[in-house]
Every structure is written in structure tokens, then in C-alpha cells.
A and B are shown apart, each in its own frame.
Chain A
Amino acid sequence: MTTVTTPLPDLHEKPVESSAHRFFHSYLFQKTLKALFTAWVVITLTFFLIRLLPSNPVELFIQDLMVQYGMPYHEARDQAAALFAIDLSRPLPLQYLDYMDGLLHGDLGTSILSPGTSVSSIILRFLPWTIFSVGIALMLSFTFGIMLGLFMAYHREGVMDHILTVLASILSSIPNYILGILLIIFLGVRWGIISVAATRGTLSPGVEPSLSIEFFKDALFHAALPITTYVLTTIGSWMLTMKSSTISVLEEDYVTVAKAKGLKEGRITSTYVGRNAALPMFTLLTIAIGFVVGGSVLIETIFQYQGIGYILLQSVNKRDYTVMQGVFLVITMSVIVANFFADILYSWLDPRIKLGRQE
């Protein structure tokens, strides 16, 4: 009888505790450092780019006064100077340093056009609505997109697959603002199913945020059109990506082995096919979160939904530099934070990626 002596590789190598510890810390450290650097670059770029826009808030205000009230230029300028306590003639680098100093202290500054209102209070007032509508929309389109994609892959080349594939391609190729306008025209005007005027804004007059069903109903009513638009324009790409991901997983040996093992169909679909096919989707999801926040500008304007995107457009039109900076910062941070979570989530879902974490 031959004796078999195969040395077993150490499965859970246990290096000296402190070095493992250090690695874990250095990984997080590196990630954080990268995130901070990205944030700094974007903040700096937006700061200067915003100021490269033609005109500035005071000029625009002066022009406004001149056009609307027929004031002569010097009168309008005096009024503007009295209203705005900012000095735009200060050298840019100094303004930049002031801004960065404020940021480091957690101060986003105050709105130029509504003196006395801090940028953070504006963001805190409008951001939750964007998170609410975009969050629900993403969850819906992700969940249904993945399920439909899985379904399409299982029935590929079938009638339903062909129909859904065409539908998904069409949906994912329509820009969301076009679809938004179409919804208003057809649902609101032509067919009169929804009163567009009533859905404007984030809440009906008189409804206050509270933990009541009325509040949620009203909030959903107002968010329904933006949510529908987001879902319809994003679900197509989830379906198509999930379909192709599933098709490649279905060809994996472990799926054949699972069948050979006589596993139940449901178990194979969920744990063997679904879980592996959905893995890359989660990375895409976190990236999508970042982009949808930025992409809400047009949709919120079309539906007059007062979220962060709506505010961004307002402040761009009036060149309210500080508010613009604040909103861009939020968008940047949401992309960065989402990416950060993508890494952590992925390592949690896929044991092959471990972030250097030790047992």
C-alpha cells in the first residue's frame, strides 16, 4: 500500500497578530487616503470651474434689478453692495483658502443670494427628498431588473426573452428627461390620469413630515413621477447586465455539478446561479447611487420636485457659488462613499476578496 503524504497548505495562515492588524489598518488607511485625495481634487476643481462661469451672482442680481425695475446701473450696484456681504474682488487663491479652511471646520459657508442661510441647512432640507426618491427608485429597478434578468437568462431565446430584451434596450436608450417629459405629456395632459400640478413639490400644502401613514402616502404621491422615470430608465440596463451575467454563470461547472448532485431547482437558482450572477451587480449598484444623485438635476426640475438637483439648477442659474459648491460636494461625496461601500460590500459577498481581513 502506498502511503500518501501530501502536505496540506495552511488554510488560515496566522501571521504574527500585530502584522495582520497593521495590514488591516493600512488597507483602510489607504482607502481613506485615496477617498480624501479624490474629494480634494474634485472640490478644488469645482471651486475654480464655478468661478469660470460667465458672470457672477452680483452681476446677475444687478442685471435683474436693471431689467425688472429699470434701475440705472449705479443704483442697482449700490443696492447689491448693501445686500451682499461678499467681496468677489478678493484674490481667488485667498477665497479658495477661506473656503478650504471653512470646509475643514465643517462649515460650508452661507448662501450668497439668501444671506444668513447656511449652505448646510439648505442641503439638509433638500437632500432627504432626493435620497428618498432616488433610493426607492434604485431599489425597485435593481430588484426587478435582477429578477427579470435572471428570468430572461433562464428562458433565453424564448418569446418572453426576446420581448423583454427589446423592451430593455429601448428603455435604457431613452434619456430620463425625455421620458419625464413624455410622462407629463401623456399621463398628465393627454390622458389626464395624474394631475401634474398636484404632484409638484415634495409634499402637499399642510402636510408636515411625521411618522404617519398620511405623510408617507403624500410623499410617495409627490415622488411617484420622478421614481417612475428613474425606474423605467435604469431598469433596462440592470436587466441586460444581469441576463448576460447569469448566462455566463449558467455555463459554469459548479452549476452542472449542482444539477448532478440532485439539488432542488430553487436552491440552484438562488444560491448557485443567482448569488454568483448578482455579484458584479452590487458594484454597479453602488456606482449607480453616486450617478443618480447627480443625474437628478433634470428630473427634479422637470417635475418641480424640490430635491438637491432642483436646488443645484436654481443656484447655477443665479450663480450662487457657495450653494453650488455645497451641492457638488454632496454629489462627489456620494460617489466616493458609494465606491467605498462597494469595496466593503463586495468583500462581504464574495469570500475570494477579503480586504486582508483575518479570521
Chain B
Amino acid sequence: MSNESQQVVLKHEAGSGTPLTLRNVSVAYKTRKGDVQAVRDVSLDLRAGESIALIGESGSGKTTLGLSIVRLLVKSAQVTNGEIIYRRNGKEIDVLGLNKKELREFRWKECSMVFQSALNAFNPVIRIWDQMKDTAQSHGWKDKKAIRQRSLELLKFVQLDAERVIDAYPHELSGGMRQRVLIALSLLLDPQVLILDEPTTALDILTQRTIIDLLRKLKEEQHFTMIFISHDLAIAAELADRIATMYAGRVVEVGSADDIFYRPRHPYTLGLIRAVPKVVGDFQELFSIPGSPPDLIDMPSGCKFHPRCPYATDKCRQEEPDLVPVGPEHMAACWHWREVEKELQSKPLHSIS
């Protein structure tokens, strides 16, 4: 790779304040058996320039939450409650109240999304260039030369051979290349918020590294405001400033990446961390969380995690805990977070690092 392509610098204004606020957002899928409560009562603030990771098992509601921000939920799903507030230059937009036209303009320009399966993210019958041009023109760009210029710049930024890739058809690119093209495409309109849904899941380990380095560059050099959706804790640890753990559609713990990794207070987060094998250090027996995620139609009473939780008591079976502060900027929804704290003091995590 030439040095030249590494030096591409994007002009991105990180902005300030809180571009995105979710308030008590709930999403339900209508099915024959009943409503699937995929997201329940989620409140989050996304600050300018920060990257936040949503982690959790499959089916915990991460992707649904991500999709609801750009309102791309399938027809059977609906935001049943809550507010999504987007801010830019002091103006507030109620995302859920946007009409069709406003929504179309909001998408990608303000908030773009990198999808999990970049393999199928491109229209197979038209060239990458046409897909970039499409996007820019839909948002009012007229000058084709400028669009091409910007596209080439972005493709170079994601370390692709821009001149070649831009005139290629999607099937001529490998999975990793397509993922990078998709990232370049997501930056085309310089959105304020970037949502990345499992950006590395479908890739092999070396390509994953490339993408992670690229995303870190976006974060560290460009200060993009990002939401990461991932089940991979290692990636979350590398890329996120803050982490929110989701379980059964709720955020059960949220805090800085350090807090979550070194001082988790929710038994579920603790379980997730212990379930990751360590590369260095002695061989330890891997921990796994017993049981499986709850049925989202017919959920257990009280704390939804209690059937799988080693700390569960009668109280957990009856009452669902709210998020409470467990440290500075650190919240957890557990009746027994102090016991988790105690246990960690006697048996600390990550003794080597």
C-alpha cells in the first residue's frame, strides 16, 4: 500500500454537545404468538465525538435498537414508546416524528449505518460509483465531479485502490473490500452519527484487524460519533469509550470501557467478560453463562436475568431493578451489585493486564 493513501485526511467536524438522545425507547415486533418486546425502556445519551458500544448476546435487542434510530425497522416492528432526539447546530429533531421526506433526508446525511453483511449491501447490477453517485444525488449534490472527487478520497481513506474500486461491480470485490467500501460510503455525506452493526462479524480475522484499525482511525483522528453494535467484547474494548450491556431488550449496565471491563457491577456483564478466553496468562477454565436468553414474548418475572444469575434471590424474581449509579458515570440494574463488587475484590478480573 502506498504511503500516499495513508495520508488522506478527512475534514470532519466532530460537533459538540449530545447529538443523540434516546429516552425510554421501547420496540415491539408483532407476531402471531404475541408481541416480542425486543427493546424495553432504553435511555442513552450519545455525546459528540464519543463511541459507544452496545454489547450482548444475539437477540438482546442491539440491532433492533440501532435500526430504530434510522427508522429502518421492518413493518411488523414498532417503536411503542419513547423518544429519539437528534441535535445538530443547536436544532433538535424528533426522529420518530419525521415525515417521509424529512426522514429520507435525515438518513445517511445525519446518521448513516454500516450493516453487518456488507457482502449483500451493494446492488449487484450497478457499479460502486453509481451507488455512491446515487447516494450523493439523492441528497442534493449536483456536481458529479465533486462527488467523484469525494468518493475517491474516501476510498483512499479506507485504504483501497480507489481508481479501480470505484468502477468495479460489487461482485469483483472481496468481503473485506466491500466492508471498507461500505464504510467509505457511510462517510460520503459526512454524517454526524455513525452506526456500525457488527462491522467485523462476517470477516476473517486478518480482515477484521484491518477494519478495526480503520475504525480506530475514524475515532481517534476524526472523532466520529459512533455507535457500535457487537457481541465481540474485544472489539468493544478497543473501539468504545463507553459500553452499554444489553439483556432481554434492556440496558442492564452502562459505563466507561474501563469500568465495564475492570469493575463490572452486573452479573451478566461479569459473565460475558469471564466467557472470553484470555490470550495471555495461565490456562483458566472458561466460564459460561448457564441457560439461554429469555423468551421475549413471555418473559420471566422480576429481573429478566434471574433464571441464569448466581446471585438471584426472591427479590430478583419479583421486582425488576432500575439502573442505579454504582460509580461515577457508571450505572447498573442489579439488586446485588454490591455483592458482585465484593466478589471481584476477592477474585479480580484481568490479573495480568
Contact = CB atoms under 8 A, between A and B. Distances in A.
User: Are both chains from one complex?
Assistant: yes
Interface string A6-25: 10110110000000000000
B138 interface: yes
Interface residues of A, number: 31
A133 B34 CA distance: 54
Given A4-B210, A6-B210, A261-B138, 18 more contacts: A2-B213, A3-B6, A4-B213, A6-B1, A6-B206, A11-B173, A253-B117, A257-B121, A260-B72, A260-B112, A262-B108, A262-B109, A263-B134, A271-B123, A271-B134, A276-B125, A349-B125, A350-B125
A350 B124 contact: yes
Contacts of A258: 123, 134
Interface string B150-174: 0000000001110011001101111
A351 B169 contact: yes
B207 A11 contact: no
Contact of B120 (A254, A260, A267, A275): A254
Interface in B92-125: 104-109, 112-113, 115, 117, 120-125
B1 A260 contact: no
A74 interface: no
Contact of A351 (B70, B121, B125): B125
A256 interface: yes
B135 interface: yes
B70 A260 contact: yes
Contacts of A55: none
Given A252-B120, A352-B171, A275 B125 contact: yes
Contacts of B106: 262
Contacts of B1: 3-6
Interface in A307-359: 349-352
Interface of A: 2-6, 8-9, 11-12, 252-254, 256-264, 267, 271-272, 275-276, 279, 349-352
Given A9-B174, A253-B121, A267 B112 contact: no
Contacts of B185: 261
Question: Which residue of B134, B176, B210 has the most chain A CB atoms within 10 A of its CB atom?
Answer: B134
Given A4-B1, A11-B164, A352-B171, A257 B139 contact: no
Contacts of B72: 256, 259-260
Nearest to B168: A11
Contact of A8 (B104, B105, B161, B214): B161
A260 B134 CA distance: 12
A235 B207 CA distance: 48
Contacts of A256: 72, 115
